Amino acid sequence: MSEQNYIYAPGSTIDGSFKCKVPMKGTRQLFIVDGKPQGSPSSLTVKYAQGERPSEALQVIGVRTSAVPGSLSFSTSYHFGQDSVGRLILCSHTFAEDSFETTENCSIVVEKGASVEVVLMQNEHNRAAHFLNMDVVVGENGSFKATFISLNGGHIENRINVKLEREGAYCELNGLYLADGTQNVSNIIKMEHLVPGCHSKQLFKGILDNNANSRFSGLIKVCPGAFKTEAYQENHNLLLTKGAVAISEPMLEIYADDVKCSHGATNGRLNEDELFYMRSRGISLKEASLLQQMAFAYSVLEKISTQELRERMMSLTEQRLRGEFSDCRKCCKNCC
């Protein structure tokens, strides 16, 4: 990785108290505090050199503090050189009860033969709005896999634009969003197949409680000449109440022959037969519906390759679904 003068945690802490508890061995942590990488006045730029395959993952923890309330925007850029292999964990948190609006413009370039896995977690509070604009370009035989976990936040809007630019490029986007109260989460995806022989998959799932609402808008665009494209997209929502609303807008634009594309979307409720079956074995209604929600979330969470991180995300998801986050009113750190 190109050496900038960034300060890597856990040598340092934020607010004198916060320490990220994601128990990943061999993870290099870096904080972006109110839009600035700790120890640097410029925006975050990370470069993996050709063939670089660090054993450790890079975790970038974006936090908002009471020092800069209101709105701000910042940029990040990640460049993965030819045949490099990288793992990123991108987190965003709010560390104060102030109202925040954060816009993050994130650019990711995956060069020929490089392989990248990103796990992104958004865990903010009800008065926080987070706008993520992510542009991803994948080169020849490059692979980009990302799992977006929107755990908590008043307003979350993820716009993800992926360009599969050279033959053999692969992109997999998975998303899990959990919203309650009056929270809303949008995932707006544009997956562009520009050349032949590229492959993409999308799986986005949401669990919506109370009066929460979500929007999934996913476009797969197969450009002229991009034959032998394979592109799949799925969006499924679990609505726990009558007041929850999920909008699903799957879109396919195909301008080439000889392609395999599909999309599917469902909105559903908890399954009464499954609930009764579990209850007839002594499991309470609350636990039975939680088991069902976890099972629903599992098909996204299982995509996270690193076991420790996957288990951590599962336990955070379970805590969130149990309503434990909303019990921590004064604390904005939500046990991450």
Nearer to other proteins, 147 or 229 (CB): 147
Taking a C-beta distance cutoff of 8 angstroms, is the pair 188, 219 a contact? no
Measure the CA–CA gap between 316 and 90, rounded to whole angstroms: 15
Find the binder of other proteins among 42, 182, 241, 284 (CB under 8 A).
284
The answer to whether residue 295 forms part of the interface with other proteins (CB under 8 A) is yes
Nearer to other proteins, 56 or 287 (CB): 287
Torsion of CA 30, 157, 289, 314, to 10 degrees: -20
State the angle between helix axes of 285-301 and 307-321 in degrees (0 to 180), rounded to the nearest 10.
150
The answer to whether residue 204 forms part of the interface with other proteins (CB under 8 A) is no
Angle at alpha carbon of residue 146, lines to 290 and 149, rounded to 5°: 30
Q: 43: how many CB neighbours lie within 10 A of its CB?
A: 14
Nearer to other proteins, 7 or 314 (CB): 314
Find the binder of other proteins among 16, 280, 307, 327 (CB under 8 A).
280
Q: Return the structure tokens found at 193.
A: 């197949």
Q: What are phi and psi of 128, to 5 degrees?
A: -105, 140
Nearer to other proteins, 96 or 313 (CB): 313
156-164, 170-178, 260-268, 295-303 -> range binding other proteins (CB under 8 A): 295-303
Sequence-distant (6+) residues with CB within 8 A of 247 are 213, 214, 215, 216, 217
The answer to whether residue 17 forms part of the interface with other proteins (CB under 8 A) is no
Place of tokens 């420790």: 308
The answer to whether residue 283 forms part of the interface with other proteins (CB under 8 A) is yes
Measured from the CB of residue 240, what is the shortest distance to other proteins in angstroms? 16
Find the binder of other proteins among 277, 315, 324, 328 (CB under 8 A).
277
Per-position b or e across 74-87, b if 16+ CB within 10 A of its CB: bebebbbbbbbbbb
Measure the CA–CA gap between 314 and 304, rounded to whole angstroms: 10
> How many residues of this chain interact with other proteins, rule: CB under 8 A?
21
Task: Report the run of H or E that residue 278 belongs to, with start and end.
Answer: helix 272-279
Measured from the CB of residue 147, what is the shortest distance to other proteins in angstroms? 17
Nearer to other proteins, 258 or 272 (CB): 272
The answer to whether residue 292 forms part of the interface with other proteins (CB under 8 A) is yes
Taking a C-beta distance cutoff of 8 angstroms, is the pair 196, 167 a contact? yes
Nearer to other proteins, 295 or 328 (CB): 295
The answer to whether residue 319 forms part of the interface with other proteins (CB under 8 A) is no
The answer to whether residue 1 forms part of the interface with other proteins (CB under 8 A) is no
DSSP reduced 3-state for 326: helix
- The single-letter code of the amino acid at 115 is S
The answer to whether residue 276 forms part of the interface with other proteins (CB under 8 A) is yes
State the angle between helix axes of 272-279 and 285-301 in degrees (0 to 180), rounded to the nearest 10.
120
Nearer to other proteins, 127 or 310 (CB): 310
Find the binder of other proteins among 4, 40, 210, 299 (CB under 8 A).
299
Nearer to other proteins, 5 or 266 (CB): 266
The answer to whether residue 242 forms part of the interface with other proteins (CB under 8 A) is no
Measure the CA–CA gap between 326 and 291, rounded to whole angstroms: 20
Find the binder of other proteins among 1, 270, 278, 336 (CB under 8 A).
278
Measured from the CB of residue 278, what is the shortest distance to other proteins in angstroms? 7
Measured from the CB of residue 12, what is the shortest distance to other proteins in angstroms? 38
Identify any residues that bridge with 105 across adjacent strands, giving them in sequence order.
75, 133
* Contacts to other proteins by CB under 8 A: 273-274, 276-285, 287-288, 291-292, 294-296, 298-299
